[in-house]
Amino acid sequence: MDSVRELKEAFSVASGDPELVRSQLQAFGRQIPLLYFILMVNTIAVAVTHYRFAPKWVVVYTPAFLCLICTIRCVNWWKARHRVLTHEHAVSELRKTTRLASILGAGFSIWSFTLFPYGGPYEQAQVAFYMATTLVGCVFCLMHVRAAALSLLLIVVIPFTVFFVSTRQPVFVAMAVDMMLVGTALCFIIHIYYLNFSQLVQSQRDLLATQIRTQTLSDENFRLASIDSLTSLPNRRSFFSSLAELAQQQLAPMHRFDVGLIDLDGFKQVNDVYGHATGDQVLSEVGRRLLTFATPDVLLSRLGGDEFGIIVKMSRSNDALVALAEKICEQLSRPYWVSGNVAELSGTIGWATFPQTATTVEQLFERADYALYFGKESQRGRPVIYSAEHETRIRRASLIAQELRRADLEAELYLVFQPIYDVMQQKPVGFEALARWQNVPLGQVQPDEFIRVAERTDLILHVTEVLLRKALAEVHHWPASFCLSFNLSVIDISSLPRSQRLLDIVSLSRVPPSRVNFEITETALTRDFEQARGSLALIKEAGCSVSLDDFGTGYSSLTYIHRLPFDQIKIDRSFVAKVDADAASRNIVKSVMDLCNNLELRCVVEGVETQSQLDILRDIGGVIMQGYFFGRPMRAEAIGTYLAEAAAHLGHPLNPAGVPQPAGTAGSAGTLAPIGLT
């Protein structure tokens, strides 16, 4: 049964495998011209040699008719050679080929047998030879279509054998037997060839499938490696490769492109207050909002954390860039509703332009980063384009860093002290120490400048230690109830051992820790909340107190303050400056004071400069104040005079003239006043 099925299969077109059918048709198509060439040339040759012996219908018309069929078939094939066939069409084409092979095989065989009786023994032998060689040639050409090759073989070999055996001529009988044997061998060869061919097709298919799988996998890996999984934006790696590619393309200086770095303001607080899951949701929402700006010319990426990158190809002008950036900032500052909470953030963007401000990718990124840094300091939530002013600042900062490194800090750093005033008691209750640096090449450098530079190098640790020792040395000369307020930078509380170093300095100074208050700015806390909390706890444990400085300039929320062990909040002077002109500032100051009352924190109002500010602040409940109105920062040597005058005015109503202004205010050499009012 099996062999019958196999036999049937061998003579039919295997239609179940489209790939095999397509390959068969393709391979066979390439042999068609050769097949018909062999067939027609051999036929014409036989017809020509028999021309003298046989009638015209045998040597001219019949072969001409058969050759016409062959030619039509060839032309049809030529015309359709580029046609893309469906599987059904391809199968029917193969079946047609099989049928045609049988029909033409039979037609040419019958014609050959008809021709045989004409001519002498040579011509007869030529007919036999023609049939055998043409058959072998055609079978080889049909090799890829097994059914056609086998059908042709049977249709020619069997009649050939019967016909030539029946001639009883030993030569022809021998040829018939020979033909039988060759035919049988060809059957096997065709079969084996066909099996190999289908295996080859199968393995090619497997190979292709493996290649596709590998390609898909590698495409997916590439996608994953260049996409940020949280926001689905391209990631840092992708950002830098796009940047490098662009820089390569834009070597012609005609075209500019811009790089923007976005940093979210207030994101750390969201993470700290609501947890990382909420933080992640905010980041994906930021990603969604940013994606709305993506165009083929605006590429957005997440560089890590809460930092994002923008590349604007072919931007036209700074104005166009600012317009785009402002729209982005506006989007980012809309409220974020996540997990039942509403988070308020903003995004600051630093821009740098290629090739105007930078000629390498690294420089471009660095400058955009600097513009961002500048923006974070002075204009949060807005775009900043890197400019010549930033260039000057960078130069100045590197000069400061250089001088700071080689300076004798012990000799060059000194402190000025600004009184902290109690308006109820009408007397100062302490001093805030403010750093100054007198350097020969640079002259007088303000803390805003050198503290920041020192923070970027580890020099700040040494700076703080020198200043703290000097400040504590002064406390011994003050009244016993007076406290020292000392500013710390974020690096000073970035690890427990560093904070401990400061406490060791306090204890070595023999100033009671209860008289030392450390001030930490709000922005400093945003860097590493948990670490800051640990350090503050350590400082409190040692008996010192801690203040939140510059309150209102960052993104502190009530919860945020509540989770840190502060004793005191200092309201930033930017609110006080407008307190007499602007009801909103007044309300803010009032609510911070109420907040302090509720949380049982002391509240210091900074930057009081005028009588009217003082009056308003006192009306809304302000008690402890600081500012030029009560005293400018003064040299240590001037404190004695200041305190003496303050004592003399005790009980008198306060006015600018009544508040003692020491001779040795900040920066001046100061006059040596009697010290020892303790």
Residues that bind ligand C2E (CB under 6 A): 418, 434-435, 446-448, 451, 467, 487-489, 519, 521, 549-550, 573, 607-609, 626-628, 633
Partner whose binding site includes residue 451, from Ca ion, ligand C2E, none (CB under 5 to 8 Å by kind): ligand C2E
> Shortest approach of ligand C2E to residue 582 CB, angstroms?
17
When the beta carbons of 381 and 552 are compared against ligand C2E, the nearer one is: 552
Partner whose binding site includes residue 609, from ligand C2E, Ca ion, none (CB under 5 to 8 Å by kind): ligand C2E
> Shortest approach of ligand C2E to residue 570 CB, angstroms?
7
> Shortest approach of ligand C2E to residue 465 CB, angstroms?
11
> Shortest approach of ligand C2E to residue 491 CB, angstroms?
9
Return contacts of 69-72, CB within 8 angstroms, 24+ apart: 69/104, 69/107, 70/36, 70/39, 70/40, 70/104, 71/36, 71/40
DSSP state of 295: B
When the beta carbons of 93 and 606 are compared against Ca ion, the nearer one is: 606
> Shortest approach of Ca ion to residue 592 CB, angstroms?
13
When the beta carbons of 202 and 444 are compared against ligand C2E, the nearer one is: 444
> Shortest approach of ligand C2E to residue 526 CB, angstroms?
15
Partner whose binding site includes residue 287, from Ca ion, ligand C2E, none (CB under 5 to 8 Å by kind): none
When the beta carbons of 135 and 433 are compared against ligand C2E, the nearer one is: 433
The set of residues, in sequence order, having a beta carbon less than 8 Å from that of 506 and lying 6+ positions away, is 468, 472, 513, 516, 542, 544
> Shortest approach of Ca ion to residue 235 CB, angstroms?
39
Please name which of 295, 332, 326 lies closest in space to residue 312, comparing C-alpha atoms: 295
When the beta carbons of 175 and 491 are compared against ligand C2E, the nearer one is: 491
> Shortest approach of ligand C2E to residue 453 CB, angstroms?
12
Report the distance separating Cα 207 and Cα 211, nearest Å: 6
Tell me the pairing of strands 427-439 and 483-488.
parallel
Partner whose binding site includes residue 418, from Ca ion, ligand C2E, none (CB under 5 to 8 Å by kind): ligand C2E
**DSSP conformation letters of 223-279:** HHHHB-TTT-SBBHHHHHHHHHHHHHHTTSTT--EEEEEEEEETHHHHHHHH-HHHH
When the beta carbons of 231 and 487 are compared against Ca ion, the nearer one is: 487
Tell me the pairing of strands 602-605 and 568-571.
parallel
Partner whose binding site includes residue 281, from Ca ion, ligand C2E, none (CB under 5 to 8 Å by kind): none
Name the percent of the chain in helix, strand, coil, to the closest 5: 60, 15, 25
When the beta carbons of 201 and 468 are compared against ligand C2E, the nearer one is: 468
Partner whose binding site includes residue 98, from ligand C2E, Ca ion, none (CB under 5 to 8 Å by kind): none
When the beta carbons of 260 and 670 are compared against ligand C2E, the nearer one is: 670
When the beta carbons of 285 and 606 are compared against Ca ion, the nearer one is: 606
Partner whose binding site includes residue 489, from ligand C2E, Ca ion, none (CB under 5 to 8 Å by kind): ligand C2E
Place of tokens 């049909």: 142
Contact of 487 with 435, CB cutoff 8 Å: yes
Contact of 149 with 24, CB cutoff 8 Å: no
Please name which of 449, 451, 445 lies closest in space to residue 467, comparing C-alpha atoms: 451
> Shortest approach of ligand C2E to residue 488 CB, angstroms?
6
Radius of gyration for the alpha carbons in the chain, expressed in angstroms and rounded: 48
Partner whose binding site includes residue 435, from ligand C2E, Ca ion, none (CB under 5 to 8 Å by kind): ligand C2E
Report the distance separating Cα 564 and Cα 554, nearest Å: 15
Please name which of 141, 188, 180, 185 lies closest in space to residue 160, comparing C-alpha atoms: 180
End-to-end CA, the chain: 122
Place of tokens 């008809």: 114
Partner whose binding site includes residue 468, from ligand C2E, Ca ion, none (CB under 5 to 8 Å by kind): none
340: left (phi over 0), alpha (psi -120 to 50) or beta: left
Binding site for Ca ion (CB under 5 A): 487, 519, 549-550, 606
When the beta carbons of 172 and 478 are compared against ligand C2E, the nearer one is: 478
> Shortest approach of ligand C2E to residue 225 CB, angstroms?
42
Partner whose binding site includes residue 193, from ligand C2E, Ca ion, none (CB under 5 to 8 Å by kind): none
